[in-house]
């Protein structure tokens, strides 16, 4: 068990997401940086999709009420009883120890995984918190001071000390977009602007979507659409002219015109970018998107093999 000693808003229990219920209006929720979650779980010998704490605003402080191995991946810095730990690290806490997760000042999302995985009720096949539906995670809400969370009994008993992962090397530069839908209906000058502009991530961004502030985009003739199924990564253009990139808590159906889709690898990078910072977009091909996905799979597979070597 762990107890939350200090907590900012936005901290939730998330796993890889909830699938199969979009047709009932239930979105996926789940970790916004699935690769960081999977890495943290693999370091512990957990199922890669096991539930963990997602931290959007730091600091978070927890007290261990039992001996427990943990890992911390993504953005931020872990400090155990005053001792700073390396990034993307698997550590071991003794009962009574205090773990503080703090910001490194550059924004981003952190994942605290616990050996065995955070034990919460599985709702519709997932532990992820659905804030809109108010279910999953801890009573469908953000964590708060005084919450006590249990962990699943460990399936792996061998503990080979503490070690870390080399963080996945994200691509640099512009975030990759598969253009489509109404993109071709934008005036040509604006089509070019989508990929030549600096887009500032609005401070109103959240788990539902990231708003991009920059040149206002408008269709010559307003586009009216019937409501259609929406997925994270889809870039919508509401009448405000300010594009929105859908994220994990996006509604399952929407009606705004669409410019294309951010590829999954770069949707993670966007989610890890601090509100107020700037990003660029560029066109990519399906082949390029497939390569990016394969590269992530290889990273996780390599990590699993290495862990088996360290903890046979």
Partner 1 sequence: MNTPQFHRMGTRAILVESQQPQADLRTQQVYWAFDQRAADLPGLVESVPGMNNLLLIFEAMEYRENALADLHHYWGASIEQSSARDARQITVGVLYGGALGKDLPILAERARLSVDEFVMRHAAVEYTVFCLGAHPGFAYLSGLHESLHAPRQNAPRPQVSAGSVAIGGSQTGVIAANMPSGWNLIGATDTTFFDHRNEPPALLAPGDRVRFEVRGIEA
Residue numbers at the binding site for partner 1 (CB under 8 A): 19-26, 123-124, 130, 132-135, 178, 180-181, 224-231, 233-234, 251-254, 261, 263-264, 286, 289-290, 293
Pick between residue 189 and residue 286 the one whose CB is nearest to partner 1.
Answer: 286
Concatenated DSSP letters of the chain: -EEEEE--TT-EEE-S---S-GGGT------SSHHHHHHHHHHHT--TT--EEEESSS-EEEEESS-EEEEEEESSEEEETTEE--SSEEEEE-TT-EEEEE--SS---EEEEETT-EE---BTTB---BTTTTBSTBTTB---TT-EEEEPPPS-------EE-PPP-PPPSSEEEEE-GGGGGS-HHHHHHHHHS-EEEPTT--SSEEEEESSPP--SS------EE--TTEEE--TTS--EEE-TT--SEE-S-EEEEE-HHHHHHHHTSPTT-EE-EEE--HHHHHHHHHHHHHHHHHHHHHHHHH--
CA distance 159 to 13: 25
Task: Using DSSP bridges, classify how beta strands 175-179 and 281-283 pair: parallel, antiparallel or unpaired.
Answer: parallel
Q: How far is the CB of 21 from partner 1 (least distance, A)?
A: 7
What is the Cβ-side half-sphere exposure of residue 14, based on CA atoms within 13 angstroms? 31
The sheet with strand 110-114 has its strands ordered as 12-14, 52-55, 110-114, 68-74, 89-93, 163-164
Q: How far is the CB of 73 from partner 1 (least distance, A)?
A: 24
Pick between residue 277 and residue 295 the one whose CB is nearest to partner 1.
Answer: 295
Q: How far is the CB of 81 from partner 1 (least distance, A)?
A: 39
Pick between residue 112 and residue 212 the one whose CB is nearest to partner 1.
Answer: 212
Q: How far is the CB of 270 from partner 1 (least distance, A)?
A: 14
Q: How far is the CB of 171 from partner 1 (least distance, A)?
A: 15
Pick between residue 43 and residue 131 the one whose CB is nearest to partner 1.
Answer: 131
Q: How far is the CB of 108 from partner 1 (least distance, A)?
A: 23
Q: How far is the CB of 279 from partner 1 (least distance, A)?
A: 18
Pick between residue 76 and residue 257 the one whose CB is nearest to partner 1.
Answer: 257
Pick between residue 25 and residue 161 the one whose CB is nearest to partner 1.
Answer: 25
Tokens of 44: 């512990």
Pick between residue 196 and residue 227 the one whose CB is nearest to partner 1.
Answer: 227
Q: How far is the CB of 267 from partner 1 (least distance, A)?
A: 9
Pick between residue 159 and residue 264 the one whose CB is nearest to partner 1.
Answer: 264
């Amino acid at each position: 068990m762990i107890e939350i000693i200090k907590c900012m808003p936005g901290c939730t229990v998330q796993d890889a997401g909830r699938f199969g219920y979009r047709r009932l209006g239930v979105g996926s929720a789940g970790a916004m940086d699935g690769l960081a979650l999977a890495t943290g779980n693999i370091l512990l010998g957990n199922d890669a999709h096991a539930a963990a704490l997602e931290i959007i605003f730091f600091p978070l402080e927890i007290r261990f009420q039992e001996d427990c191995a943990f890992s911390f991946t993504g953005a931020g810095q872990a400090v155990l009883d005053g001792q700073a730990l390396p990034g993307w690290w698997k550590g071991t806490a003794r009962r009574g120890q205090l773990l503080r997760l703090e910001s490194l000042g550059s924004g981003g999302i952190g994942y605290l995984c616990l050996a065995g995985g955070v034990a919460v009720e599985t709702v519709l096949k997932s532990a992820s918190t659905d804030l809109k539906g108010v279910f999953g995670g801890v009573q469908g809400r953000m964590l708060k001071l005084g919450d006590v969370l249990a962990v699943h009994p460990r399936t792996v008993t061998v503990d080979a000390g503490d070690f870390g992962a080399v963080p996945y090397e994200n691509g640099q530069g512009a975030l990759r977009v598969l253009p489509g839908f109404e993109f071709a209906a934008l005036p040509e000058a604006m089509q070019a602007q989508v990929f030549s502009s600096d887009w500032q991530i609005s401070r109103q961004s959240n788990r539902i979507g990231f708003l991009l502030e920059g040149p206002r985009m408008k269709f010559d003739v307003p586009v009216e659409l019937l409501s259609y199924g929406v997925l994270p990564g889809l870039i919508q253009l509401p009448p405000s002219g300010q594009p929105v990139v859908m994220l994990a808590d996006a509604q399952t159906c929407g009606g705004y015109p669409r410019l294309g889709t951010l590829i999954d690898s770069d949707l993670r990078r966007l989610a890890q970018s601090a509100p107020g910072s700037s990003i660029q977009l560029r066109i990519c091909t399906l082949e390029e998107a497939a390569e990016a996905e394969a590269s992530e799979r290889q990273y996780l597979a390599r990590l699993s093999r290495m862990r088996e070597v360290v903890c046979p």
